[in-house]
Chain A
Amino acid sequence: MHELAIAENIVDTVCTRAAGRPVRRVTVRIGALTAVLPDAMLLCWDLAATGTAAHGAALDLDLRPAVVFCRACRTDQRLPDMIPLCPCGSADVTVTAGRELHIVSMEVA
């Protein structure tokens, strides 16, 4: 499960940035086009944080939908799935959101 590797990456980053202070809460932004499952992330989080400065920290997920800009009808459209297609039928689209995988912020004591 790659969510464990992702969670370990997040724990590493926040612990480094917290420089010894305990981390209480972490907010992570996940786009719908990343292969990261929110439930699996939450499941792996405690495991990854155990024994670190982020032990017991809460994980908040900011889930973002996939959005494309369509050059045919010049609108932004939310995608219901992974298929980069505008409801107008055009495939001449650019993905403008949904690939985010960012640590937004943390709360330290």
Chain B
Amino acid sequence: MCYDEPAVTVTLEERVLARNDDLARANRELLTGRGIRAINLMSSPGSGKTTLLERTVRELRRPVAVIEGDQRTPLDADRIRAAGAPVVQVNTGAGCHLDAAMTRRALDDLDPPPGSLLFVENVGNLICPSLFDLGEHARVVIVSVTEGADKPLKYPYMFAVADLVVINKTDLLPYVDFDVDACRRHVTAVNPGATILTVSATRGDGLPDWYAWLSGGG
């Protein structure tokens, strides 16, 4: 290396995630072109993403396809397949989020039918996935009543990007100390524009609202 030469400063002013954002835009254009609506589903591990999807696959009168992001196992994909929807599993290994390139590869494998609803179950994590646009049309964040009503304040980045926040496991409300109104207030504080629904993915409470939101273009 020649240290006699002075270092030169080069101005870049480039977005760090420019490449991901470009790929995401291409994904969105491809999907929109085929009349497919894509929804990025995010939450902590165990909030009920897969359970809500299984039920949606069984009950929604519209073709559904799913991309399952998981660090290691194919278990969630097996559950979705058993529920009756085409699914592609993406194992991220140590990666804590999906990105637009992984989504594109999964899309090419899955080839969802025109007019279908495509769900992407992101890796269970309330921080990392918020930064990576996949090419979705809407972002849904799930929080369950066993997690604490202050989650939106503890993970504001995630709740700030949500179009819809689903408060799940309301069947457990009699057994846990969870203030639904406080949770709603916290969501609204970090994201005044977010729609909020309360559901029980296992018992079925509130699911008509969820299906209405999905069909309403959300």
Contact = CB atoms under 8 A, between A and B. Distances in A.
Contact of A109 (B2, B95, B99): B2
A21 B189 CA distance: 48
Given A2-B127, A9-B20, A84-B190, A105 B96 contact: no
Given A1-B96, A5-B97, A9-B16, A83 B10 contact: no
Interface string B1-26: 11101011111111111111000000
Contact of B160 (A10, A12, A82, A106): A82
A85 to B, nearest CB: 7
What interface size band does chain A fall in? 20 to 34
Contact of A83 (B3, B14, B156): B156
A25 B6 CA distance: 13
B157 A35 contact: yes
Interface residues of B, number: 34
Nearest to B4: A109
Contacts of A106: 9-10, 12
A105 B9 contact: yes
Interface in A67-86: 81-85
A47 to B, nearest CB: 12
Interface string A83-109: 111000001000000000111111111
A64 interface: no
A59 interface: no
Contacts of A14: 12
16 contacts: A5-B128, A6-B16, A9-B16, A9-B19, A13-B14, A28-B16, A33-B157, A33-B160, A35-B130, A84-B192, A102-B15, A103-B12, A104-B12, A105-B12, A108-B10, A109-B1
